[in-house]
Amino acid sequence: MLRRLAYAIPMALAWMLLTSMPTLEGFGVGLVLSIAVLTLLFSNEPSPIPTWRDLPSRVAAAVVYFVILLRDIFLAAIDVAKRVIDPAMPLNPGIIATATQFEPTTPEEEAVADTIAAISAHGITITPGELVVDFDGNKTMYVHCLDVVASSNVAESNQAKRLKLLRKILL
């Protein structure tokens, strides 16, 4: 219950900002709604809420993830801009397959496996020149890219790094 309360307080503050009710009553309503939502969402699942001991390593992993994501976005944007400006730069568009998930071994990992896959797919889609077009039941996602050869050379290693960081953040 204390873990839910630790998440409910920032959610209640966000509620106050979103509803333009910066009063004690607004905070109370937000707190009650936040606790209710957290209880409904996570009543039968292992709690994904981190302990305070885990928080520094999770925050560090999140910072690393976002720095890598921003770097990838920046480099991909430059690559796409070069391809637009210089028509002689070859395009070899196509679709490559890459693993979306790790193999969950605990109930906690099973509970967040789809979330990790979704965040990973978002990280790929937000990168210019790449777009996740499909998922299949075999934990594989299909990514459309501007250069199949260049993307297939780094797709698996980039995805492995992404999954490792997301596991540190969420588990």
Among residues 126, 153, 124, which one has the least CA distance to residue 140? 124
Where b means 16+ CB within 10 Å and e means fewer, 68-100 reads: ebeebeeebeebeeebeeeeeeeeeeeebebbb
**Burial class, 53, CB count within 10 angstroms (exposed 0-12 / middle 13-18 / buried 19+):** exposed
Q: What is this structure's pTM?
A: 0.69
Same domain, 81 and 160: yes
Same domain, 35 and 70: no
pLDDT of 1 reads: 58
pLDDT bracket for residue 104 (50, 70, 90): confident
Same domain, 33 and 69: no
Q: How far is Cα of residue 162 from the mean position of the Cα atoms in its chain?
A: 9
pLDDT of 89 reads: 79
Segment 24-78, tens digit of pLDDT: 888 888 888 888 887 777 665 555 555 667 778 888 999 999 999 999 999 999 9
Segment 122-152, tens digit of pLDDT: 899 888 999 999 988 778 999 999 999 988 8
In a domain, 68, yes or no: yes
- Give the domain extent around 16: 2-42
Same domain, 77 and 122: yes
Q: C-alpha angle 117/93/164, rounded to 5°?
A: 25
- How many structural domains does the chain have? 2
